[in-house]
């Protein structure tokens, strides 16, 4: 009897190793300049400094009056402070003179503070006392004055390179005064789903067939990760069809495939990639998602995701996405409201729900239960061989 020859590539790598190996095969994207209105979802390629200060002048945070705080210290509903109104300041049209003792001006949110005044009396605390005076029923508050540059000062470096440009961050880039900003080129990812049983939604479904959910979900996740998707559609379980689809790719940075990398006779993606002799690893010590494979095809990195819908989307979330975006997987610590079991030599990502600040096991943990990814809001991470008891603090990935 002859012993089976050991494979010439690493098997059963850790989640961390898989992520690092994939990231090492991806190019460092060049910088391009885009309008700040087109930058949502992109990654900032260079730091952004403030071109102006915000606020650009010391201004009011409320609608009301601007006056001298010292004048109003004893104001109360039973003994309101009477102040003479000598003018107004509104956004864009400041008051030119100085506010003296016993005086105030009407002021509106975002309007510049006049000289002499250092506090705001909100409109809710004012009663008119004739056309040129008001009664203030509480002390005016210096805290409702926004100092010039209190948010950021001109010249200050506010946004570091590498930031993922979320909606609040593109708003900040605009507030800093940038019309165009440097972002990393979008990585181009070709996407192919495989499987004889996999068909398009809209077609009648025969017993044993399944609608192609992975291609839709993965395409959405790639867009969410700031990538450009090259859709290759779907290929049947035939080496020639798979090879034809891969050979048709032009100018991609990565090929992402779904299905056909497991242990079955018809898992031809696996055979084709192993045949190329460029396998970085096959199988990751994780559940769900074990059979992922990283290989190469004529210089193009190929990441083979398992076909099971949950495996495919979870592997994308914890390995492919961080490698593509350079952003670590975001986790938070929460208290476990139910136990979560550990698996020897595998990192487990159990679907869970967050209720009242605690995580609860979702229940059905099969890797084909796609519905769970919609109904469970989170993945509980249990390290290899670990296990989590009720009341313990656990790492949670938001979905
Ligand atoms: P495979 O990894 O090719 O062995 O497929 C594992 C399981 O995932 C099988 O039950 C497939 O029917 C299912 N599957 C494969 N590809 C897809 C897909 N694109 N969409 C939904 N389910 C799929
Ligand atoms: Mg298959």
Cβ(307) – ligand 1 distance below 6 Å:
yes
Atom of ligand 1 nearest to the CA of 213: 20
| Three-state SS at 339 | coil
Nearest ligand to the C-alpha of residue 213? 1
Comparing CA positions, the residue from 323, 47, 43 lying closest to residue 183 is 43
Query: Is cis: bond before 288, omega within 30 of 0?
Result: yes
Name which residue sits closest to atom 16 of ligand 1, judged by CA: 307
Cβ(210) – ligand 1 distance below 6 Å:
yes
Cβ(304) – ligand 1 distance below 6 Å:
no
Cβ(103) – ligand 1 distance below 6 Å:
no
pLDDT digits (tens, 9 = 90+) for 39-52: 999 999 999 999 99
2 pLDDT more than 60: no
> Which of the four pLDDT bands, split at 50, 70 and 90, describes residue 3?
low
89 pLDDT more than 70: yes
pLDDT digits (tens, 9 = 90+) for 160-195: 999 999 999 999 999 999 999 999 999 999 999 999
What stretches of the chain show up as alpha helix (H) in DSSP? 15-25, 167-175, 213-224, 239-247, 268-276, 309-315, 321-325, 371-375
* Geometric angle at alpha carbon 101, from 99 and 102, rounded to 5°: 100
pTM of the predicted model over 0.75 = yes
What does the mean pLDDT of the chain come to?
96
309 Cα–ligand 1 center, Å: 7
pLDDT in the model for residue 7: 80
222 Cα–ligand 2 center, Å: 21
CA gap 320, 226 in Å, rounded: 12
pLDDT in the model for residue 131: 86
Strands 228-235 and 188-194, sheet pairing:
parallel
The domains of the chain, with CATH numbers, are 11-29+186-325 (3.40.980.10), 41-54+150-184 (3.90.105.10), 59-146 (2.170.190.11), 331-398 (2.40.340.10)
pLDDT in the model for residue 235: 97
259 Cα–ligand 1 center, Å: 6
Q: Kindly state the percentage of the chain with pLDDT values over 70.
A: 99
């Amino acid at each position: 009897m002859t012993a089976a020859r050991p494979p010439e590539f690493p098997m059963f790598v850790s989640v961390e190793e898989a992520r690092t190996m994939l990231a090492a095969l991806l190019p460092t994207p060049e910088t391009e300049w885009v309008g700040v209105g087109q930058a949502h979802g992109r990654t900032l390629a260079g730091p952004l400094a403030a071109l102006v200060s915000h606020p650009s002048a010391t201004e009011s945070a409320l609608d009301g009056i601007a006056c001298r705080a010292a004048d109003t210290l004893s104001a109360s509903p039973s003994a309101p402070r009477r102040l003479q109104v000598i003018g107004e300041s509104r956004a864009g049209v400041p008051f030119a003179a100085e506010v003296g003792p016993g005086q105030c001006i009407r002021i509106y949110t975002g309007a510049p503070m006049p000289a002499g005044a250092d506090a705001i009396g909100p409109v809710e605390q004012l009663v008119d006392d004739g056309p040129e005076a008001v009664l203030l029923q509480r002390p005016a508050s210096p805290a409702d004055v926004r100092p010039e540059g209190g948010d950021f000062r001109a010249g200050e470096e506010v946004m570091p390179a590498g930031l993922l440009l979320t909606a609040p961050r593109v708003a900040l880039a605009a507030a800093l005064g940038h019309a165009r900003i440097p972002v990393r080129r979008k990585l181009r990812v070709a996407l192919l789903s495989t499987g004889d049983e996999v068909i398009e939604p809209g077609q009648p479904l025969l017993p044993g067939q399944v609608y192609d959910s992975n291609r839709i979900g993965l395409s959405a996740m790639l867009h969410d990760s700031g990538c450009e998707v090259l859709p290759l559609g779907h290929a049947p379980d035939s080496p020639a069809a798979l090879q034809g689809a891969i050979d048709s790719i032009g100018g991609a940075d990565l090929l992402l495939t779904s299905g056909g990398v497991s242990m079955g006779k018809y898992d031809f993606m696996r055979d084709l990639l192993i045949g190329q002799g460029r396998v970085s690893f096959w199988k990751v010590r994780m559940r769900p998602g074990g059979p992922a494979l990283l290989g190469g095809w004529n210089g193009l990195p190929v990441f083979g995701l398992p076909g099971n819908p949950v495996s495919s989307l979870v592997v994308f979330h914890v390995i492919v996405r961080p490698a593509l975006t350079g952003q670590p997987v975001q986790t938070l610590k929460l208290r476990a409201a139910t136990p979560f079991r550990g698996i020897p030599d595998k990192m487990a990502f159990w679907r869970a729900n967050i209720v009242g600040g605690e995580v609860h096991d979702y229940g059905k943990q099969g890797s084909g239960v796609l519905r769970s990814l919609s109904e469970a809001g989170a993945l509980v991470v249990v390290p290899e061989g670990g296990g989590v008891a009720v009341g313990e603090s656990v790492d949670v990935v938001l979905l």
